[in-house]
Amino acid sequence: MNYRILVINPGSTSDDLGVFEGERELVKKTVRYTPADLKRFEHANVTAQYEFRKKNVLDMLAENGISLKSLSAVIGRGGLLKPIESGTYPVNDAMCADLREGTYGDHSSNLGGLLAREIAASANCPAFIADPVVVDELDTLARYSGMPDNPRISIFHALNHKRVALMAAGKLGKKYEDCRLIVMHGGGGISVGAHAGGRVVDVNNALDGDGPFTPQRSGGVPSGGLAKLCFGGSYTHGQMKLKIKGSGGLVAYTGTSDLIALEKFIAGGEQDPQITVSREKAHECVSAMAYQIAKEIGAMAAVLAGRVDAIVLTGGIVYDKHLMPELRSRISWLAPVIEYPGGDEKRALRDAAERALENPETLRQYC
């Protein structure tokens, strides 16, 4: 059946919107926000942007002649919730309360479930989220950190991890549940997970302080040095949070988080005004990021006891012509490498909504 599904994928500086009919994307629109657009909300919880962003979704539907009553379902990108199992969830009162209050963290993706719920109510159809970043399937041993009161937690790009893992399993001629895979999603954040038995049994916290450094995040850093920075009197709590997420990683080393600009500069192109280092230093910094990603992949190979069917690479950084050759050279001996550049989160959400409509018994409940 060709269900008509509205997909809402809110990001920190954009909303990626789409209406699908069956496999075909009827309408797609990316609404981008400048710092000036969001300035009035900078000291408020992200849900203060709710009405502002809802109007953009409704305007997109109206501009393209899409009636609310024609929708079969609305699905939003899942936000920061309590740790949950992988799957598709109806948006219920308990979920909305946690998203609205930011009980487990304040992030733009919290708006996905809230927008889906209200628009779906007007359309008289179900509202869903699927595989939010808080999917938690960690093995018991993976939770140990060395500090009982500070355990390792699961926050990663679950939606795209699951999507490309299923695709890779199909390419290998296996069921996902029978595969042993290492999946790396690389974008503004980088997550590397070990998939076994249909679960992500270990993965770095890609949001704030684990794994390789990224274009904007520090990743795992020396803990003693971090403690000195925190209590040395030079930085506030807010400034330290920004060093970990927002102004860490490549942007701290080079002045920019734009991998495309760095790639062009390294290749001999004109220097972007934001880049503050020499060509040689820029090359070294990008190489260091590839080095750290490779180390994390190697760690996940140890988690899987060296029995790895494939290493699956996805996300925007897979397009990078400088980083990727260096990464491949360090990991290709471990297992076959399968690449899915970019990340089609909208289609992954559409697929999840369709599965939920066709097999409602598979839905999970948030409580």
What digits encode the pLDDT tens for the residues 156-165? 999 999 999 9
Are 100 and 236 found together in one domain? no
pLDDT at 188 over 70: yes
Q: What is the mean pLDDT of residues 14-33?
A: 91
Q: 118: domain CATH number? A: 3.30.420.40
Tell me the C-alpha distance between 175 and 178, whole Å: 5
Do the domain assignments include residue 351? Answer: yes
pLDDT at 32 over 90: no
pLDDT of residue 45: 83
Helix (H, G, I), strand (E, B) or coil at 168: helix
The pLDDT value given to residue 108: 86
Q: Are residues 73 and 205 in the same domain?
A: no
CB of 129 closer than 8 Å to CB of 76: yes
Residues 232 and 349 in one domain: no
Inside any domain, residue 367:
no
Domain assignment of residue 175, yes or no: yes
What average pLDDT is seen over the chain? 94
Higher pLDDT, 207 or 198: 198
- Identify the pLDDT of residue 348: 93
Considering Cα of 71, then 72, then 77, then 83, what sign does the dihedral take?
positive
* Cβ-Cβ contacts under 8 Å for 29 (sequence gap 6 or more): 17, 18, 60
Query: Does residue 158 contact residue 86 with C-beta atoms inside 8 Å?
Result: yes
Note whether residue 115 is domain-resident.
yes
Write the DSSP string, 272-299: PTT--S-HHHHHHHHHHHHHHHHHHHHH
Rounded Cα distance between 188 and 329, Å, is 23
166 and 112 together in one domain: no
Average pLDDT over residues 74-93: 95
Residue 198 counted as domain residue: yes
- pLDDT score for 78: 86
Domain co-membership, 275 together with 129: no
Residues 72 and 179 in one domain: no
Number of domains in the chain: 2
pTM: 0.88
The reply to whether 166 and 227 lie within a common domain is yes
| % of the chain with per-residue pLDDT over 70 | 100
- pLDDT classification of 14: cutoffs 50, 70, 90: confident
Token code pair at residue 101: 């209050």
* HSE of 255, CA atoms in CB hemisphere, 13 A: 14
Sheet containing 4-10: give its strands across.
24-32, 14-21, 4-10, 73-77, 127-130, 88-90
pLDDT recorded at residue 34: 74
64, pLDDT greater than 80: yes
Q: What is the pLDDT of residues 136-185, one digit of tens each?
A: 999 999 999 999 999 999 999 999 999 999 999 999 999 999 999 999 99
Task: Point out which residues pair with 185 in neighbouring strands.
Answer: 191, 314
Q: DSSP of 98-126, one letter per residue?
A: HHHHTTT---TTHHHHHHHHHHHHHHTS-
State pLDDT tens for residues 264-301: 999 999 899 999 999 999 999 999 999 999 999 999 99
Report DSSP state, residue 81: -
Query: Each residue of 100-127: pLDDT tens digit?
Result: 999 998 888 899 999 999 999 999 999 9
Considering the domain architecture, whether residues 100 and 146 belong to the same structural domain is answered as: no
Whether the per-residue pLDDT at 38 is higher than 80: the answer is no
Tokens 């794994």 correspond to what residue? 211
- Check whether residue 186 and residue 243 sit in a common domain: yes
Pairing status of strand 310-315 against strand 337-341: parallel
Are 130 and 152 contained in the same domain? no
Q: Are residues 81 and 157 in the same domain?
A: no
Q: How confident is the model at residue 35 (pLDDT cuts 50, 70, 90)?
A: low
Express each pLDDT in 259-272 by its tens digit.
Answer: 999 999 999 998 99
In a domain, 49, yes or no: yes
Note whether 89 and 172 are same-domain residues: no
Q: Angle, to 10 degrees, between the axis of helix 345-358 and the axis of helix 158-172? A: 80
The residue range of the domain holding 51 is 4-134+345-362
Locate 332 and state its tokens: 């290709």
Residues 6 or more apart whose CB falls under 8 angstroms from that of 271 comprise 265, 279
- Is residue 24 classed exposed, middle or buried when 0-12, 13-18 and 19+ CB atoms within 10 A define those classes? exposed
Does 130 fall in a domain?
Answer: yes
Give the angle subtended at the CA of 295 by the CAs of 274 and 165, to the nearest 5°: 95
Residue 121 falls inside a structural domain: yes
